[in-house]
Amino acid sequence: MKDKKVKNVFKEGAISSEFIGHSIYKHQTKTSIGAHNIFLGQVRADNIDGKVVSAIEYTAYEDMANQKFHDIREAAFEKYDLTCMHIYHSLGTVKAGEICLFVFVSSPRRKVVFEALEFIVEAIKADVPVFGKEVFEDATHQWKKNT
Amino acid sequence: MYITVKYFGQIAELTQKEEEALEFSGHQISGLLELLYDKYNGLESKDFQIAQNQELVSNNTKITGAEIALLPPFAGG
């Protein structure tokens, strides 16, 4: 299903396991699907020079980011035989261990979803203007940079 | 003309604001950058990309009077 309208991908705070579970449940009516693939980005409690990351505070250039998510979505539908795809990204504070990115792709066949998911996640990391402030347990911070 | 300049992440931390309207009489991104480097100490050494109208542009891109954004390294996901 292709959708031309630019959606809002952002959610305030962490993405809950209930929300993810419910998303899976909602696809039970789409019986042409034979394979789902899911990517969950989780905030890692990195240890940097003896200080541990306790949370990431996400901000974004929201209009541009939503347009980029839309472009990635269009490119993925163009490239792969997908039945549907969903992307959610957190804004605001997400604690270590919580989910900040949820990408969900579905297709009649399995091979497609493995490739498509990697393509989408890599494009998100490279092209979408989202910024992350890594807050340490002692309340100091540094800025995250995708590598 | 007046240009809206938006700042994000560590750039907003340095400028102490998320956006402002600046009077600018030049023609290219590079001219605007010179103005901003004069205004904000330490900005020149920061790593960032520039977007005009939500598209990434280079230093010699012509300014169209649109919205300019200074984007530090991306950290999504």
ipTM attached to this prediction: 0.95
**Cα gap A64→A67, rounded to integer Å:** 5
pLDDT tens digits, A37-94: 999 999 999 999 999 999 999 999 999 999 999 999 999 999 999 999 999 999 999 9
Backbone φ and ψ for A4, nearest 5 degrees, come out as -80, -20
Does residue A116 fall inside a structural domain? yes
Does residue A13 fall inside a structural domain? no
Residues 10-29 (B) with a CB less than 8 A from some CB of A: 10, 12
Question: Is the CB of A129 less than 8 angstroms away from the CB of B74?
Answer: yes
Q: Residue B10's domain is classified under what CATH number? A: 3.10.20.30
Residue B51 CA: distances (Å) to CA of A72, A129, B12, B71: 18, 10, 15, 7
Does residue A45 fall inside a structural domain? yes
Does residue B77 fall inside a structural domain? no
Which helix (H) or strand (E) is A95 found in, with range? strand A84-95
What is the number of other CB atoms lying within 10 angstroms of the CB of residue A132?
28
Residues on chain B touching A63 (C-beta within 8 angstroms):
54
pLDDT tens digits, A66-82: 999 999 999 999 999 99
Give the amino acid at A27: H
Question: Is the CB of B76 less than 8 angstroms away from the CB of A146?
Answer: yes
Helices (H), A1-147: 17-26, 62-79, 110-127
Position A5 scores a pLDDT of 86
Whose tokens are 């800025």? That residue is: A143
A131 touches chain B (CB under 8 A): yes
Tokens representing A79 are 């490239």
Measured in angstroms, the CA of A41 and the nearest CA of chain B are apart by: 6
Does residue A130 fall inside a structural domain? yes
Question: Is the CB of A129 less than 8 angstroms away from the CB of B51?
Answer: yes
Number of domains observed in the structure of chain A: 1
Position A4 scores a pLDDT of 72
Closest CB to A63: pick one of B54, B71, B73: B54
Q: Give the strand pairing for B55-57 and B49-52.
A: antiparallel
- Residue A58, SS3? strand
A44 touches chain B (CB under 8 A): no
